[in-house]
Chain A
């Protein structure tokens, strides 16, 4: 099997023969957040090797795209990373707009940024709560889900959906802000201001939590690049790669925010990056609400969307890393090929390396800190 297996074999004196134990973690395990199975080979408490096995919720997204017209596919992308669904829609619409050479109106770009950053906060809230719960701290979950509910209500008012929004359209967004949206979002931002500090008190000042994440699952920048890891996992290892800053798309250059970096590269660093990102996202939303321009919410798009032959590979910074769509058009109403680059797939490919040699109890801490999402991996 893998290289790790030979590395971690322990020599026992002849009288004390033991053998490795193969243990299936999942597919129905609370800490795998979806149907992911990890085949563990254990030597006592230590992991000799770990092989992730997935595909349990494979739905053939890339094949389905070839049978659907471009606009028909938008709602399906919500089902990739359902916790931050808007980024999937965003990168798909951006890819279509790049193919067709469409320019999105400024108001629509602002609406995309506002909803996108709301999505990032809500996704990080789910991660924070469930990571705490994986490590035995139940309280954070009750707080983060309470606060996430407020974001879901904002989305409910905006597009009638709480998670699978179907809000973006090729060339813009589906509808303008409903009455009361701005006030509700502002009220949420005001309320949310002190929340990251509260979560911090609950977790990062908690000796048990710190003991379980500090120095665990160390990831060097070299290994991260080798596995094409992106997002908070990469920034936790000290690499300041955030597409919103390094290769700005949409109207991100107009906002002031910080790229959150930690240099330790352990589970605690990844935790800190995400908590700080929530603060930064709130900053972006506040600025976007203040400067929201008036105008059209969608570009002029012909009723039959038929981009010229060509290809586009477009990425956005989702809450888990770089999420991209590679679309190949043959000039017809359906894509010839629709490839989805998902951050979790690359991030999870680290797992055999990160898990080799750790203790069983640390697996949960490492899985939680990577923050992958299975439907996105399986597609």
Chain B
């Protein structure tokens, strides 16, 4: 597998920590979610096959806060890939929208909003996508509960 030019990448992403050898390519760890749009633009214009496809976009509930996880690949070479992670606070769950950068982000962000309640500023149409409009709460948060959730025996 051809490797990404890590040193050039690190230079382009000055503020971010770059960890080689993650589960899906190197991991770019951003200090703030507000760095996401600029980082994605940089990754797209990387001289070698630009990383320009947002294959998957999701979030994790880490307890004290959330983490956005982006799985990115290059359209020119599928083996060039990256994971980008950015923290989101629990008190003000907000992140900038990436719709301007990736078309696929529009629905992925709606799903993250639907499931985790993270608001994407600048999103053109941020509403629930899978759950009904009047659903209360955000099911994939770890502290979510409702009277329809059944306790499995032994748990």
Contacts and interface: CB of A to CB of B under 8 A. Distances in A.
Given A226-B104, A311-B23, A55 B131 contact: yes
Most chain A beta-carbon contacts within 10 A, residue among B55, B83, B102: B55
A252 interface: no
A229 to B, nearest CB: 8
Interface stretch (A134-142, A205-213, A337-345): A337-345
Contacts of B124: 2
Given A225-B75, A313-B24, A345-B107, A324 B131 contact: no
Nearest to A63: B139
B30 interface: no
Contact of B131 (A58, A223, A341): A58
A341 B56 contact: yes
Contacts, number: 85
Contact of A339 (B1, B56, B104): B56
Contact of A227 (B23, B69, B104, B139): B104
A91 to B, nearest CB: 12
B18 interface: no
B104 A55 contact: no
Contact of B155 (A67, A339, A346): A67
Contact of B152 (A67, A226, A243, A310): A67
Q: How large is the interface on B (under 10, 10 to 19, 20 to 34, 35 or more residues)?
A: 20 to 34
A100 B17 CA distance: 26
Nearest to B79: A247
Nearest to B101: A226
Interface in A236-261: 239, 241, 243, 246-247
Contact of A349 (B106, B115, B140, B155): B106
Contacts of A226: 102-104
Interface in A296-334: 310-313, 322, 324, 326, 328
Contacts of B69: 326, 339
B78 interface: yes
Nearest to A67: B152
A378 interface: yes
Contacts of A227: 103-104
Interface of B: 1, 23-24, 52-56, 58, 60-61, 69, 71, 75, 78-79, 83, 102-104, 106-107, 115, 124-125, 128-132, 139-140, 152, 155
Given A55-B130, A98-B23, 20 more contacts: A55-B129, A55-B131, A58-B130, A58-B131, A67-B152, A225-B75, A226-B103, A226-B104, A228-B53, A228-B102, A246-B78, A247-B1, A247-B79, A311-B23, A313-B83, A337-B61, A339-B56, A341-B71, A346-B104, A378-B130
Interface of A: 1-2, 54-55, 58, 60, 62-63, 67-68, 98, 221, 223, 225-228, 230, 239, 241, 243, 246-247, 310-313, 322, 324, 326, 328, 336-337, 339, 341, 345-346, 349, 353, 378-379
